[in-house]
Amino acid sequence: MRVLETYAARCVSIFQAHAGPAAARNRAIRESVSPFIAFIDADDEWLPEKLERQLSLLRQNKSLGMVCSHCVISESAHKENRHLAVNVPDTGRLFQYLVRDCFVFTPTVVVRRQCLEQIGLFNEALPVSEDFNLWLRIAAQWEIAIVPEVLAIAKKRSGNLSVTISTQERLRSGVAALQHVKASCSGLAAAEQHALRLALAERIYFYGSYLLSTGAKTASRKHLAAALELQSTHWRAFAKLALSFLPGEIYGSLSRLKSTIGV
């Protein structure tokens, strides 16, 4: 508390009606004046050298829009998982890598204000995946860098939004996040467009597969067919689409058999 009191004159507390994490972060960004912006939720932690290491990179390289780092996800006092950006360059145009696997965790990020002014803020229509959506829009136009060490700890607790939101809403939002990237990022290179198309096909497949598991066959077929339109060789989408035409009792038996044998 004594340490915080020495910075009291530089701190601002803002209150607004609950409207989700995107709206809260956007409000804070609009209220701030710094050329660089970092994010930390109430239960997350920054390691002492985090900002110093990342701001140094941003100041040295004006082509960088964002710097992140490796992260530890803490689920309890006895369970932690290290999340590393594996087989990803430390800096450059990293859209193709990021769209395949989101290696950026929000508490690790420092972003240049100029970058946000160019590409926009968090998409408030997305209840989750709003951060992934923004990182992709940044990576579509700017270089990003990864400090290859753990500089933040993200706490995953039972009350977190990412835990309490329904599976269907999480999957739907994941699809919408990539669809928004596809619609808003027109300058992607051919290889980046291809990577985005495959990633979107996979997200739509998972959503369609989930719908099929709930018995929503008509909606499931729509999404599985959409996945095949994006990736005609997606054999799992083709198989699930075929299964959706089986009578309910047969599909149920196959699903239980799959669970039993673990495939």
Question: Which CATH number fits the domain that encloses residue 41?
Answer: 3.90.550.10
Q: What does 101-120 look like in DSSP terms, one character per residue?
A: S----GGG-EEEHHHHHHH-
Instruction: Tell whether 197 and 158 lie within a shared domain.
Output: no
Report whether 173 contacts 128 (CB < 8 A).
Answer: yes
Instruction: Tell whether 120 and 196 lie within a shared domain.
Output: no
Count CB neighbours of 191 within 10 A: 11
Total domains in the fold of the chain: 2
Instruction: Tell whether 106 and 207 lie within a shared domain.
Output: no
* DSSP structural state of residue 141: T
Q: Which two structure tokens, joined as six digits, stand for 124?
A: 């408030």
Instruction: Tell whether 16 and 80 lie within a shared domain.
Output: yes
Domain span at 196:
189-261
Q: What per-residue confidence (pLDDT) applies to 261?
A: 47
Q: What is the pLDDT along the chain (263 residues), one digit of tens a residue?
A: 677 678 777 788 888 888 889 999 999 999 999 999 999 988 899 999 999 999 999 999 999 999 999 999 987 666 777 777 888 999 999 999 999 999 999 999 999 999 999 999 999 999 999 999 999 999 999 999 999 999 999 987 665 555 678 999 999 999 999 999 999 999 999 999 999 999 999 999 999 999 999 999 999 999 999 999 999 999 999 999 999 998 765 555 545 545 554 44
Specify the residue for token string 């060490």.
149
Count CB neighbours of 4 within 10 A: 8
| pTM, two decimal places | 0.89
Strand segments, DSSP code E, in the chain are 36-38, 45-46, 64-76, 79-83, 91-92, 110-112, 143-155
Q: Is 81 helix (H, G, I), strand (E, B) or coil?
A: strand
Is residue 174, in this structure, part of any structural domain at all?
no
Instruction: Tell whether 222 and 117 lie within a shared domain.
Output: no
Is residue 3, in this structure, part of any structural domain at all?
no
Q: Which two structure tokens, joined as six digits, stand for 150?
A: 């753990």
